[in-house]
Copies of this chain bind each other. A is one copy, B any other.
Amino acid sequence: MSVVLPILRALRDDGPVSRAELGDRLGLTRPRLTSEVGRLVKAGFIAEAGMAASRGGRRSTLVELHPRLRFAAVDLGADSIDVEVVNGRMETIAAYREAADIRKGPKAILHRVSELLAKARVEGAHDRLDGVGIGVPGPVSFRDGVPVSPPIMPGWDRYPVRELLAREHGCPVVVDNDVNIMAVGERHGGVARSVDDFLFVKIGTGIGCGIHLSGDVYRGVDGCAGDIGHIQVDANGPVCSCGNTGCLEAVFSGAALARDALAAARSGASPALAERLGRSRVLTAKDVADGAAEGDVVCIRLIREGGRRLGGVLAALVSFANPSMIVIGGGLAQLGHVLLAEIRSVVYRRSLPLATGNLPVVLSELSGRAGVTGAAVLASDAAFEQVP
């Protein structure tokens, strides 16, 4: 079993360490460690970084990931592009964020990604890339590196995203869906740091779930695990974009909340929403959050009813998967503690006590940066796995 991956991950996640400590942590004999470190130095992945403080015997040299390592992290949203270039420690060297409609199709969008990465190069953020990670807002065949029948991404079905980027940059490329990369990001630098089994629930325009089991993303047989937005929660509910009725995301999501808020504003049921609609002519989740903060009862009710529906689904998933944490992220996480309180109340009431005895249900800490962080981590993993 290769120890290359554990060595590189340890240096990425925890920074420079002495050779002695690295050997202890990974249970490697001194000759084995010397040979592996030598190989990684030669391959340009790690570098010496001075002497460590003495542990009582001979002083040991520090090693770290090579300072010239660079990874690109790309998070494509329905209407945004986020691109970052990071170093081996996953520290941001350059970051660009701009609006872009994913429906423009893969050629236009990926061309813009290339332009941003070229700009980063001109600005000195990298000479060449060692790995690229990219998240897209739809189902992905992780094995093939292509989107698969993504509902909101016309023109992207089986488009060879990985192949094209790999050819362009001459490095390993990972393509995954947006929720999986957010889960990876939250585990690397957020509230789920070092948690092996957790669910990351993204509530945005739609609803999806990143599943982290035994320390890895679980993607299912066809790569579509975590598609919880289309679980039926109300047999008599509204028709969903998928054609079924009463799906979770038809009942509660950014789109559903905007629809319900509009109805409440127009009917006059909610003065707070009516006033906002008059001002800005559109309503979003933020208006509902603000209305609730002002004490508007309809806004509070909309959030609590949504939380109850989502909580029912999460209670079922807790009974099934017995995770150690649930993280709530995505745009609707801004609904904050009213939403969280309702979700918790349902999950704690409906699931087995053994499974909820020590189950935090918490908001994402990284919010908008969860995606790029996870994409960078996956990019580095892919590069580390290809070290000869």
A binding-site residues for B, Cβ under 8 Å = 1, 139, 148-149, 197, 209, 211, 213-214, 218-228, 230-232, 242, 244, 312-313, 315-317, 319-324, 349-355, 357
Contacts and interface: CB of A to CB of B under 8 A. Distances in A.
A355 B321 contact: no
A139 B350 contact: no
A232 B315 contact: yes
A211 B312 CA distance: 21
A352 B232 contact: no
B222 A357 contact: yes
Given A231-B315, A312-B232, A222 B354 contact: yes
Given A197-B221, A230-B350, 13 more contacts: A148-B354, A149-B353, A220-B355, A225-B321, A225-B322, A227-B355, A228-B320, A230-B351, A231-B315, A231-B316, A232-B350, A244-B350, A313-B316
Which of A148, A349, A352, A353 has the most chain B CB within a 10 Å cutoff? A352
A125 to B, nearest CB: 37
A339 to B, nearest CB: 20
Closest 3 CB pairs of A and B: A220-B322, A1-B1, A225-B322
Nearest to A242: B352
Contacts of A223: 322
Contacts of A225: 320-322
Contacts of A214: 218
A352 B315 contact: no
B319 A230 contact: yes
